[in-house]
Amino acid sequence: MKIKAINAYWLRCPIPPGRQWRSDYGHLTHFDMTLVEVVDEGGMTGYGEAKAAVGATGACASIVTCIEQELAPQLVGQEASNITAVWDTVYNGSRYHYARDRGRVFPILGNRGTTVSALSGIDTALWDLKGKRLDLPVVELLGGACRESMACYASGGWADGDALGDQLKSYVDHGYGGIKMRVGVMDHTVRHTIARTEVARKALGPSIDIMVDAHGTFSVTEARRYARLTEDLDLYWFEEPVTSDNKTGTAEIRRGTTTPIAAGESEFTRFDFRDLITAGAVDVLQPDCAIVGGITEARRVAALAETYQLELAPHCWGSAFSFMAGVHLAFSSSSAHYIEHSLGGNPLLYDLVKEAPVVKDGRIRAPQRPGLGVEVDGEFIRKFRV
């Protein structure tokens, strides 16, 4: 089946007032996404997500334009099942035939940023479409699941003071054995961040895994200090201690601590992850299927994790489609142990689709439904399309 049409929709929906949160990104009142739709000549449709920002909000107009006016004209008429060829066509542009014949890349100028994010949504939609047409879940197309179920960690932790302990304990009460809390510049001082982390460990006890995420907001000196003064708290990982622009700084932090360092949610393509690895900067790789280049490129990153014996922990903060893309990826890799599950107010995870992904007692089962395993609610699109 050939690709008949590729469409993109900017969706923006409010977060219920009682479930909003505040972090270094500000007060989050809405969630944004670019929903990508690929239709084949047989009338079957696959869906994916392309991100304009790592966080919850971001203007998606440029991604919609890129998909509909730049990429769709290149791809309509191509075989929908030839996903790797589609990926290489976009990444290499008019020199794709050289890349194909010589076995190396000849990338376009936009080989990072908006174009690769747009490609991510198209690529994921093609995997969803292929799975539906073959009546198989995407994880089966990736080699099958490595386990029957996987643990999820509850991703939240914005509160301050004693409220933080109560917030995190509420996650554990739902069966989660791991939680992630936000730290960094939102706390104003390193000392305050340390104090919040101590509150978390005291509230949860020694048996719960605690991940901390600085969103890249510490300086190298601040991150080194934080890592040194929290080593006795036995953190599971320290995520994005400094900006992703500073891989050498991340490596310096990693050399100075026994706390594992996680990074990668805002990186594009396997080549950025290669650079993280060769710099000695990471213990945990966190590709986001809606940013890195889709499931195709995320699976290549998973291969790097498997090769270098690093942990794979896909960034699953987004809509049901990027969440399920990360779930299928994680189940396909022996290097993945945890799946991120958003505990913030996220209508795009729960209301965009007819049946939301099910996490029970802190675990999620291997996907069984065809494609990504979720179906879009058309009324939601009509209501929240920008």
> Looking at the predicted structure, is the pLDDT value of residue 133 above 90?
yes
Is 215 assigned a catalytic role?
yes
Pairing mode, strands 261-263 and 284-285:
parallel
Full-model pTM: 0.96
pLDDT at 30: 86
- Point out the catalytic residue in the list 97, 174, 188, 215: 215
- 55-64, 92-101, 269-278: segment of lowest average pLDDT: 55-64
Which candidate, 199, 187, 263, places its Cα nearest to that of 225? 187
- 283 within 8 A of 260, measured Cβ to Cβ: yes
pLDDT at 249: 97
pLDDT at 107: 96
pLDDT at 111: 94
Rounded to an integer, what distance in angstroms lies between the CA atom of residue 256 and that of residue 218?
A: 15
pLDDT at 87: 98
**How many other CB atoms are found less than 10 A from the CB of residue 342?**
20
Q: Which residues lie closer than 8 Å to 221 by C-beta, 6 or more apart?
A: none
Distance of CA 77 to the CA centre of its chain: 30
Among residues of the chain, what percentage have pLDDT more than 90? 89
pLDDT digits (tens, 9 = 90+) for 337-351: 999 998 877 889 999
> Looking at the predicted structure, is the pLDDT value of residue 364 above 90?
yes
- Point out the catalytic residue in the list 30, 315, 328, 341: 315
Rounded to an integer, what distance in angstroms lies between the CA atom of residue 341 and that of residue 179?
A: 9
> Looking at the predicted structure, is the pLDDT value of residue 21 above 70?
no
Q: Is 5 helix (H, G, I), strand (E, B) or coil?
A: strand
Rounded to an integer, what distance in angstroms lies between the CA atom of residue 139 and that of residue 297?
A: 15
pLDDT at 18: 72
Higher pLDDT, 56 or 379: 379
Q: Mean pLDDT over all residues of the chain? A: 95
- Structural element, H or E, at residue 363: strand 363-365
Higher pLDDT, 55 or 96: 96
pLDDT digits (tens, 9 = 90+) for 225-243: 999 999 999 999 999 999 9
